[in-house]
Chain A
Amino acid sequence: MNRGALYYVMIPLLLVAGLLQSTAATRIEIRGVKPDLVLLLIIAGTLVYGSRPGLVWAFIGGIALDSFSGGPMGASSLALMAATLAAGLGHRTLSRYNLLVPLGAAAIGTAIYGLTYLAILFVLDVFNIVQHRVPLVEMVQYVLAPAIAYNTILMLAAMPFLNRLPESQDI
């Protein structure tokens, strides 16, 4: 059984990435937008191992993120799980060695993650459960769109490492 090193170290990696997200990531912000390290790690893991373990990683990674966030606990988990489902759609049918697959997964995953997170904030605000104002158009224009570009470029930079990981068996 060859699951590859990434599978076994994924959870510790996610916790470290969550910590770095709240400390180091702000130092590499571009125009106020920082990369989503946890999201990228989960998308990479999902491309290699599929949605099933990806969902568990998304849940754990989301808890790590929400521990260092002013947002509602569980919101990042739900958003990451939605992104994982999208990234895992082509796991069996598309080759992750094709350049467009990881880049597309990063772009679409970031978009779905962002929109899901904003939707959760919006719903909680509408029902007056947690007050977080969500100016959707501005958020997409100033935050989500640059984040999609940033994460996609980072995924491109991570491609050489990703391509060296062995092809996984179904887990």
Chain B
Amino acid sequence: MRDSERRPWSIGDIGIRFLILGLAALLLMALQVTGRLEPIQSAATQLTSPAQVGATSVTNNVTDAVDFVFELRRLRQRNLELEQINSGLLVENFELREVERENQTLREMLDFAQTRPGLELRGAQIVARVIGRESNNFLDYIMLDLGQTHGIAVGMSVVTDQGLVGRISEVTESWSKVLLITDASSAVNAILQSSRLNGVVRGSPSGDLVMDYIPQGREFSIGEVVLTSGLGGRVPKGIPLGQVTEIRQRDIDVFQQAVVQPTVDFQRLELVMIVTNFDPLENVPDMLAPEVVPAGEPSPEEGALPSEEDAAADNAQREAP
């Protein structure tokens, strides 16, 4: 049929198409919420995982190459001879550098595991590879190449040697999704290392973390390290979360807040560890031992601190008009 003979389409045509596709999208949403989409999602992911791994690998290589080019330019400006030798060696060892970097990460992770014997980590398959990242700007998730068949379950903590990354939010047979601590929905019970004040660390759209529910009248300082408190028993105790960069204190508020810079570099996440089991009573390593609390002051463990769920619910109420 020639185009000129086509019936010009109307708003009704588009409306019907929008309605049908919209209903299909809602149906998919309902199927996912009820868990009936999981087999299809799992199968689809098994198909797309190799492509995702490949794309991630290519992206890493391209990024390395771009970084390398910039580095090359600077080196050329400083010393042409050294640059020529350097570029030859780097090209030759390009793949070896990748392996070396991975080895370094693994060594650091091994050291992390040895300093925290209370965490049961997944033996040889302790390390999961980040195969994908959240596709939109409004959520913060990553996808890992381990799933139910590797013993991964919803709620498990995900860490690197730098600190807490997040928690497993969704698992299929062969892959899992991790809700990062920077997501606005995330809430983790935390403690300030020096002042021993408890609070709840939430993610925020700005990319920083916000430690909330810090009692009024208690002093803490910028630069303090924030650790997981282990309260609630869902996340191991003593895992670094970040460092305080700003204190928000207003007399009219019930609690103080602290803006926390995460210790984990979320831009460069490649390998992570999944804590499959841990002893909730694990002692914090010596270097993280609590300081002496001044006499007469309440213990930081005292008082009813809101749970992570309560905090999330409370946050939702605060946001409501």
Tell yes or no: B13 within 8 A of A by CB: yes
* Residues B2 and A1 in contact, CB atoms below 8 Å apart: yes
Given contacts A32-B137, A69-B139, 6 further A-B contacts (CB under 8 A): A23-B55, A32-B207, A70-B179, A77-B25, A134-B184, A139-B138
User: Judging by beta carbons under 8 Å apart, are B205 and A143 in contact?
Assistant: yes
B contact residues, range:
35 or more
User: Is A97 located at the chain interface by the 8 A CB criterion?
Assistant: no
CA distance A36 to B56 in the complex (A): 17
Contact A73 B184 (CB under 8 A): no
The 9 closest A-B pairs by CB, nearest first: A70-B141, A74-B25, A169-B3, A74-B29, A74-B28, A77-B25, A73-B32, A23-B55, A142-B205
| Contact present for B21 and A77 (CB under 8 Å) | yes
* Bound-state Cα–Cα, A142 to B208, Å: 11
Query: Is A152 interfacial (CB 8 A cutoff)?
Result: no
The reply to whether B29 and A81 contact each other, CB–CB distance below 8 Å, is no
Interfacial chain B residues near A67, Cβ < 8 Å: 41, 44-45, 48
Contacts of B319 in A (CB 8 A): 133-136
Cβ–Cβ contact A118 & B170, under 8 A: no
Which residues on B sit within 8 Å (CB–CB) of A78?
22, 25-26
Q: Which residues of B contact A130 (CB under 8 A)?
A: 33
Chain A CB within 10 A, most for which of B8, B18, B143: B18
Please determine whether A19 and B21 come into contact, CB atoms closer than 8 angstroms.
no
A56 touches B55 (CB 8 A): no
User: Contact mask B162-204 → A, CB, 8 Å, 1/0?
Assistant: 0000000110000001010001110000000000000000001
Nearest B residue to A84 via CB reads B18
Show 9 A/B contacts (Cβ-Cβ < 8 Å), sorted by A: A22-B135, A67-B41, A68-B135, A69-B136, A70-B177, A121-B138, A142-B207, A143-B137, A144-B137
Which residues does B use to contact A, with CB under 8 Å?
Answer: 2-3, 6, 8-9, 13-14, 17-18, 21-22, 24-29, 31-33, 37, 41, 44-45, 48, 51-52, 55-56, 58-59, 62-63, 132-141, 143, 169-170, 177, 179, 183-185, 204-207, 267, 312, 315-316, 319
Residues on A with C-beta less than 8 A from B21 are 55-56, 58-59, 77, 81
Task: State whether the Cβ of A90 lies closer than 8 Å to any Cβ in chain B.
Answer: no
By beta carbon, the residue of chain A nearest B136 is A69
Chain B hits for A70, CB < 8 A: 134, 139-141, 169-170, 177, 179, 183
What 0/1 readout, one digit per residue, does chain A (116-150) give for beta carbons within 8 Å of chain B? 01100100010001111111101101111001000
Closest to A29 in B: B267
Q: Given A138-B205, A139-B138, do A81 and B315 touch, yes or no (CB 8 Å)?
A: no
User: In chain A between 4 and 58, which residues have their CB closer than 8 angstroms to a CB of chain B?
Assistant: 18-27, 29, 31-34, 36, 38, 50-52, 55-56, 58
Q: In whole angstroms, what is the CA distance A59 to B22 when docked?
A: 8
Distance in Å: Cβ of B44 to nearest Cβ of chain A: 6
Interface of B is mostly: helix
By a beta-carbon cutoff of 8 Å, the part of chain A in contact with chain B is 1, 18-27, 29, 31-34, 36, 38, 50-52, 55-56, 58-59, 62-63, 65-78, 81, 85, 88, 114, 117-118, 121, 125, 129-136, 138-139, 141-144, 147, 169-170
A56–B17 touching, CB < 8 Å:
yes
Q: B141 and A55: CB pair below 8 A?
A: no
Name the one of A31, A52, A75 contacting B9, with C-beta atoms under 8 angstroms. A52
Q: Is the CB of B17 within 8 A of A147?
A: no
Contact yes or no, B33 A133, CB < 8 A: no
- Looking at B132, B135, B141, the one whose CB has the most chain A CB atoms below 10 A away is B135
Bound CA span A53–B29, Å: 22
Contact across chains for B25 and A18 when beta carbons are under 8 A apart: no
Minimum C-beta distance from B152 to chain A (A): 15
Given A1-B3, A56-B17, A71-B136, are A133 and B25 neighbors across the interface (CB < 8 Å)? no
With contacts A23-B59, A77-B25 taken as known, whether A133 is within 8 angstroms of B9 at the C-beta atoms is no
CA distance A169 to B7 in the complex (A): 12
Q: A1-B2, A68-B135, A143-B137 are in contact. Are A170 and B8 (CB under 8 A)?
A: yes
A46 shortest CB reach to chain B, Å: 11
Contact residue among B51, B135, B316 (Cβ-Cβ distance under 8 Å from A65): B135
- Are the CB atoms of B32 and A118 closer together than 8 Å? no
